[in-house]
Structure 1
Amino acid sequence: AALAHDVGNPPFGHAGEQAISGFFASHPAGLELKKMLNEAQYADLTAFEGNAQGFRLLNQTHHGLRLTYATLGAFSKYPRQSLGNRQKGRASQKKYGFFQTEKEQFAAVAEGLQLLPAAPWAWHRHPLAFLVEAADDICYHIIDLEDGCTLGLLSLDDTIELLRPIIGKRFDRAKLQAKQSLHEKTGTLRALAINELVEQTVEVFLAHEEALLSAHYDQPLTAEIPAAAALQQVIDISVDKIYRARVVLEKELAGFEVLQGLLEAYVTALLHRHQGKPGRQHENLLAIVPDEYRHRLSGTALYDDLRVILDYLSGMTDSHALTLFRKLKGITLPGG
């Protein structure tokens, strides 16, 4: 479950999610869809969610992984649909975990695992989902800090001072200084910090086992570990020094242009097809969609076809999306 947790993320990561959501919420082609879809379907599009995309991919008929209900339950950090009021203060309500196309599949998972219902089309988490969330939080923040140091966005001394309170008594400055390269030093710090955070998280999980099973506990495990304040400082510094660094922001801006440009082309083509007035350009565009996606386009169910196109685009790497964008815009020619 932990290894699969990011499988649904689009190109350019969370910035990509925002680019897709923003297109459907504000672009004329996206707004046109509001009149053609039901409320729940449109809510899925205007808040694209990598977790829900991941659940969809894992459960596809031809390319899914045929995972057990327990694994799918542990994977699902947000066991709810996009539409509906969210209960503030509950970690499992912060986002959503399945699209309308997979709602019945998720209901089957919830029934099989006896997940406790929270609201219509919303359930309380499987207890193991809290461990997957913690694993994500720990690795995400510590490894991003390591990357920031490696890229020169943060000094080694600053990195040491941020991780030393987490590592605690296992921190040995003399042994660290004996390491020859920056890579060895940051790798050692990373391993020690992650190990300590894992141990603390396991203790919190076991301490709250009964509350987790009865759905009375619904906050990140890392919020209650002894190193919570130190981990929050890592997060705060990362936001200021790494995530807002010029090189990161430039990449995000490029991602918005690329993804919204691709969506404009493909969504417009789908709209023309479903409205019975396809042009040659639109049909050519849909014709070059890879077979594994093109054969799933029905031409009759608009929402389902939009999901297929989003499978295609969100499954790309950053470089693949950029290459396709350049070709479609005539910036580069095939073979050039």
Structure 2
Amino acid sequence: MMHWEQLLSLKKMGDSTKRLRIEEDETRLAFEVDYDRIIFSSAFRSLQDKTQVIPLSKTDFVHTRLTHSLEVSVVGRSLGRQVGKAILRLHPHLKDTLGYSINDFGAIVAAASLAHDIGNPPFGHSGEKAIGDYFLNGNGKRFKELLTAKQYQDLVDFEGNANGFKILTQSREGVEGGLRLTYATLGAFMKYPKESLPKKPSSEISDKKFGVFQNDKDFFREVAGELGLLKKGLKEDTHFQRHPLAFLVEAADDICYTIIDFEDGINLGWIDESYALEYLTKLVKDTLDIKKYHLLQTTSDRMNYLRSLAISRLIQEAVNVFVENEQQLLSGTFSVSLLDKSTFKAQIDDIIKLSIQKIYKSREVIDKEIAGYKILTTLLDAYSKAIENKYQGKELHYDNLLLEDLKTLDFNQEKSLYTYLIDCCSYIAGLTDGNALLTFNKLSGKNV
């Protein structure tokens, strides 16, 4: 069984003494500092030019990763606060003895939600697939025999969640522990608390993907141990049950992309507005003022109204499911997403099905994902070859020119080939859509 006293740990990397909530400065709370550090980070700022659904879109209608992440954090804060209210009622000593508040839960979930896409490559999820496919089927498969099975799996299933943990926690010269977030926030961020192998060892939602690269698993285990996350799998595997608050981060993301991607499709004219009333009213029929709805003059205003009601309803659904299943969440026996237990699951599935048909498989999205695939494959080809030649001591002048872009790899230190390759992938994943395109043009000689 997991315990809230551990799950709400204020510890940060490098701490030698225990941080106590009751001793915190109320004007500068650690969980709120987590949020601030994420929002001021360069990795977060880069999300303003990264695809959410529609790659390289220049319209004002649609969301970038940045606006999506901000919205997920707002929903996450509401989820956290409402759950926190219930948890403190169920476990009053957390407040009365230890000093935790409702807002602490909101701040943890908001910070983890803010960071949930921070490790994602350019061009949406096709970016992850492009990197993985390069090593599985492209020129990158030449590295397979030079790596362990788990190292190679990290590359062929390159995962934004694992890259996010790397970005948030990786030490570099003068910066120990990356952003130095609290372990509670890191735990809530860890939606998939396992390494890349064994792949999908169970049907549980937390085993769907992986959340840590091989180089980062020692600290990952330290965080899991401090939080008291339950061990899963074989002794030698890095594999844990989820932090309960990670379910709220997942719910915040699910709510936003379900409702807001649908809204984007309607605002772009890809989905007829009549579908909004048909699909969304099934979610909000108890709170919808149909007269007010018909008084609104624009599609945008009508969608704003329906979206607000739908998000509020789904927040309450997720909170109810969390509180009803608190003991299963703490014992690690809750194995699906919160919205999968929602009474509105059928309506959510209908919305997602229509979004897949009208948005995710639209010609514009597919065409630009194809372009992104070509761009990232070209970058991987050039940089991995330069790394390989440098690693083998037979680099060309051209390789050294390319490696100027990868100064953080630091070939003056002895590192494994895997480290150089995963750092290279992380560098490419950190590029914005626009910078990836500029680099592609540079490698193609188009910037001369």
TM-score normalized by structure 2? 0.72
- C-alpha change, 1:22 and 1:92, in structure 2 (3 Å) is same
User: Does 2:152 align with 1:47?
Assistant: no
- Deviation string 1:39-68 (CA, Å, 9 cap, x unpaired) is 111110000100001111110223822111
Specify the alignment match of 2:381 in structure 1.
Answer: 264
- Deviation string 1:59-80 (CA, Å, 9 cap, x unpaired) is 0223822111111111111000
User: Does 2:214 align with 1:104?
Assistant: no
Q: Kindly indicate whether the alpha-carbon contact (under 8 Å) linking 1:162 and 1:230 is maintained by their aligned counterparts in 2.
A: yes
Specify the alignment match of 1:179 in structure 2.
Answer: 296
Specify the alignment match of 1:324 in structure 2.
Answer: 439
Question: Equivalent residues in 2 for 1:58-137 (5 A)?
Answer: 58-61=168-171, 62=175, 64-119=178-233, 120-137=237-254
Give secondary structure in 1 for the equivalent of 2:113: coil
Displacement after TM superposition at 1:218 (Å): 1.1
Q: Kindly indicate whether the alpha-carbon contact (under 8 Å) linking 2:409 and 2:420 is maintained by their aligned counterparts in 1.
A: no
Residue of 318, 324, 338 corresponding to 1:201: 318
- C-alpha change, 1:320 and 1:7, in structure 2 (3 Å) is same
User: Does 2:354 align with 1:237?
Assistant: yes
Specify the alignment match of 2:364 in structure 1.
Answer: 247
CA distance in 2, matches of 1:297, 1:131: 43
User: Does 2:440 align with 1:314?
Assistant: no
- C-alpha change, 1:298 and 1:237, in structure 2 (3 Å) is farther
The unaligned stretches of length 5 or more in structure 1 are none
Displacement after TM superposition at 1:162 (Å): 1.1
- Deviation string 1:288-332 (CA, Å, 9 cap, x unpaired) is 44x4x2547746421111122222210111111011101111123
Specify the alignment match of 2:6 in structure 1.
Answer: none
CA distance in 2, matches of 1:238, 1:88: 28
Residues 79-88 or 264-273, more deviating? 79-88
User: Does 2:114 align with 1:3?
Assistant: yes
Specify the alignment match of 1:286 in structure 2.
Answer: 403
Residues 58-67 or 99-108, more deviating? 58-67
Q: Kindly indicate whether the alpha-carbon contact (under 8 Å) linking 1:298 and 1:305 is maintained by their aligned counterparts in 2.
A: no
CA distance in 2, matches of 1:192, 1:3: 22
CA distance in 2, matches of 1:207, 1:160: 31
Residues 272-281 or 83-92, more deviating? 83-92
The unaligned stretches of length 5 or more in structure 2 are 1-111
Residue of 193, 209, 216 corresponding to 2:333: 216
Q: Kindly indicate whether the alpha-carbon contact (under 8 Å) linking 1:297 and 1:305 is maintained by their aligned counterparts in 2.
A: no
CA distance in 1, matches of 2:268, 2:399: 42
The letter of the residue matching 2:429 is S
- Deviation string 1:173-200 (CA, Å, 9 cap, x unpaired) is 2212222322211111111101100001
Residues 231-240 or 273-282, more deviating? 273-282
Q: Kindly indicate whether the alpha-carbon contact (under 8 Å) linking 1:15 and 1:255 is maintained by their aligned counterparts in 2.
A: yes
Give secondary structure in 2 for the equivalent of 1:174: helix
Give secondary structure in 2 for the equivalent of 1:123: coil
- C-alpha change, 1:83 and 1:166, in structure 2 (3 Å) is same
The letter of the residue matching 2:143 is L
Identity %: 43
Q: Kindly indicate whether the alpha-carbon contact (under 8 Å) linking 2:244 and 2:329 is maintained by their aligned counterparts in 1.
A: yes
CA distance in 1, matches of 2:405, 2:337: 44
Residue of 268, 275, 285 corresponding to 1:168: 285
Give secondary structure in 1 for the equivalent of 2:229: coil
Q: Kindly indicate whether the alpha-carbon contact (under 8 Å) linking 2:271 and 2:358 is maintained by their aligned counterparts in 1.
A: yes
TM-score normalized by structure 1? 0.95
CA RMSD after TM alignment: 1.4
Specify the alignment match of 2:135 in structure 1.
Answer: 24
- C-alpha change, 1:296 and 1:145, in structure 2 (3 Å) is farther
The letter of the residue matching 1:187 is N
Give secondary structure in 1 for the equivalent of 2:286: helix
Residues 82-91 or 105-114, more deviating? 82-91
